[in-house]
Amino acid sequence: MTGQKGAVLITGASSGIGAVVADRLAKRGHDLILVGRDEERLNSVANRTSNETGRSARAIVADLTKKFDLEKVERILRNDASITALVNNAGVGAPAPFLDADIDRLAQMVELNVTALVRLSYAVLPAFLNRGSGSIINVASVVGIVPEILNGVYGGTKAFVIAFSRSLHKEFGPRGIRIQAILPGATATDSNRLLGHCGNSA
């Protein structure tokens, strides 16, 4: 990202892609607001990043599948004028075949991979539009374009992220808002080793 520095809010920031993005953006001069479920790991990332880069890194413990926690992060995005970018990275995968998977866990995955991402984008866009600048970076996956590789619900959520990002770009790009979708390939996380972004909400 270029232009005005400021704070970047990153979800799923306690490990994996989220932690790497936090490190890279801090080194580019951005302060950070790191969101995740695992308080210990989240604080570790925040402290390490701050110590190594000299940038502010604030940890917000939140489970984005829970209404109260999601609304807490939405309020931050609406009201914190320092935020110049949102990175929607939090997500979970579903490595099991469809009928072998737990349907409640699949529904929770949709809540995190789709619903939370939409709500957070909705929360931050008005402030960006008022300033005429801002960035939303959505972490999708290669399985969004080749969904047959894994459980189709997971691929479907990532296909949604890609389509949603394209739509946001068309609608808000001309108004100064930068929209980007990232499609990682094979990504190892603490709990999953499979093809495609399977970041975490931790």
pLDDT single digits (tens) 167-182: 999 999 999 999 999 9
- Whether the predicted pLDDT of 148 surpasses 80: no
pLDDT at residue 88, rounded to an integer: 98
- Assign a CATH topology to domain 7-194: Rossmann fold (3.40.50)
Phi, psi of 47 (to 5 degrees): -65, -45
Length in residues, the chain:
202
Give the Cα-Cα-Cα angle 101, 65, 82 (nearest 5 degrees): 140
pLDDT at residue 194, rounded to an integer: 35
Rounded average pLDDT over 47-72: 97
Bridge partners, 32 (sequence order)? 8, 57
- DSSP-derived letter for residue 37 is S
In this structure, are residues 102 and 28 in contact, taking their beta carbons and an 8 Å threshold? no
- Whether the predicted pLDDT of 195 surpasses 70: no
Phi, psi of 100 (to 5 degrees): -90, -10
- Whether the predicted pLDDT of 103 surpasses 50: yes
Q: What is the DSSP string of 73-113?
A: HHHHHHH-TTEEEEEE-------S-GGGS-HHHHHHHHIII
Catalytic status, residue 122 = no
Distance of CA 161 to the CA centre of its chain: 11
Instruction: Sketch the domain layout of the chain as residue ranges.
Output: 7-194
185 pLDDT band, cuts 50/70/90, is confident
pLDDT at residue 62, rounded to an integer: 98
Q: Which of 14, 112, 124, 154 is catalytic?
A: 154
Summarize pLDDT for 64-88 with one digit per residue, the tens.
999 999 999 999 999 999 999 999 9
